Amino acid sequence: MQPWETLAEADAPDGARLELRRRGHEYLIRAGGWDLMSSRDDSSARALATIGCAGLTSRAGVRVLIGGLGMGYSLAAACELLGPDAQIEVAELVPAIVEWNQGPIAALAGRPLDDPRVRVHHGDVATRIEQVRDHFDAILLDVDNGPDPLAHDHNARLYGAAGLRAAHLALRSSGVHAVWSYSSAGSFARTLERAGFEASVHPVPNHGRDRGSTHAIWLGRRRAPKRR
Ligand SMILES: C[S@@+](CC[C@H](N)C(=O)[O-])C[C@H]1O[C@@H](n2cnc3c(N)ncnc32)[C@H](O)[C@@H]1O
């Protein structure tokens, strides 16, 4: 088997070490000592957008927030699905990830950063969520391993009561909060429900190294008009 070649390295603002590796046609991003994602399986990253944006494809003036960029597959899928006047923001914590998506891995997802509807928020997606009220029709979150984050400890706050409440406030009425997760295990549905969402879970097949297993997309639809 061909050995991995390290193409670039960078430090995330929280100190986690990131590495971009290539082996033949496969690319790998490692973060904090873990394999964060591989280009070998883009299906669940794309499913995050297809499931999260399912009700938005024929709606005008849609606003979607994606966090984070990774290899750009969720962003590319959202660009394919949404209308010409959609506003698609992608929040990315690590500047090097944005640079890699403009350079060595730009072609993997078809250069979605070049889409004129796309704007990059350089920084923490949690900050962007906290900045707005009644703003997004969908928030698509794939920043780590899911509700049990591995690479960046600070991401745990996105999945707790306060983080979900902030997402609820940032969404327009009947907006959708979609969360990629390594597995559907755990009690995240209950946490979503408690934060004011109608929760469902959508298993998506894993076509990568752990073929046969499933990842999951948690979906929270904003339930009631919020209290002010
Ligand atoms: C698993 S990858 C995302 C994969 C992406 N869905 C795709 O289609 O390629 C996780 C990304 O989230 C970024 N990230 C981690 N924590 C973040 C945060 N709090 N805010 C914004 N981006 C974050 C990482 O740097 C990485 O680029």
What are 142-166's pLDDT values in tens digits?
998 888 766 667 888 999 999 999 9
- Residue 17: CB atoms within 10 A of its CB come to 13
pTM: 0.95
Q: What is the mean pLDDT of residues 20-27?
A: 97
What are 51-70's pLDDT values in tens digits?
999 999 999 999 999 999 99
pLDDT score of 168: 98
Taking 3-state DSSP, the helix, strand and coil percentages for the chain, each rounded to the nearest 5, stand at: 30, 35, 40
Site to probe by mutation for ligand 1, drawn from 34, 92, 111 as the one with most ligand atoms within 8 Å of Cβ, is 92
Euclidean distance between CA atoms 222 and 81, whole angstroms: 21
Please say if the pLDDT value at position 31 is more than 60: yes
Distance 21 CA to ligand 1 centre (A): 16
Q: Where in the chain are the domains?
A: 41-222
37 Cβ below 6 A of ligand 1: yes
Band of residue 1 on the pLDDT scale cut at 50, 70, 90: confident
149 Cβ below 6 A of ligand 1: no
Q: What is the mean pLDDT of residues 129-141?
A: 98
19 Cβ below 6 A of ligand 1: no
Euclidean distance between CA atoms 172 and 115, whole angstroms: 24
Task: Please give the CATH topology (third level) of the domain spanning 41-222.
Answer: Rossmann fold (3.40.50)
Euclidean distance between CA atoms 110 and 48, whole angstroms: 17
pLDDT score of 144: 80
92 Cβ below 6 A of ligand 1: yes
What are 169-227's pLDDT values in tens digits?
999 999 999 999 988 888 899 999 999 999 999 999 877 666 667 899 999 999 866 45
Q: What is the mean pLDDT of residues 17-46?
A: 94
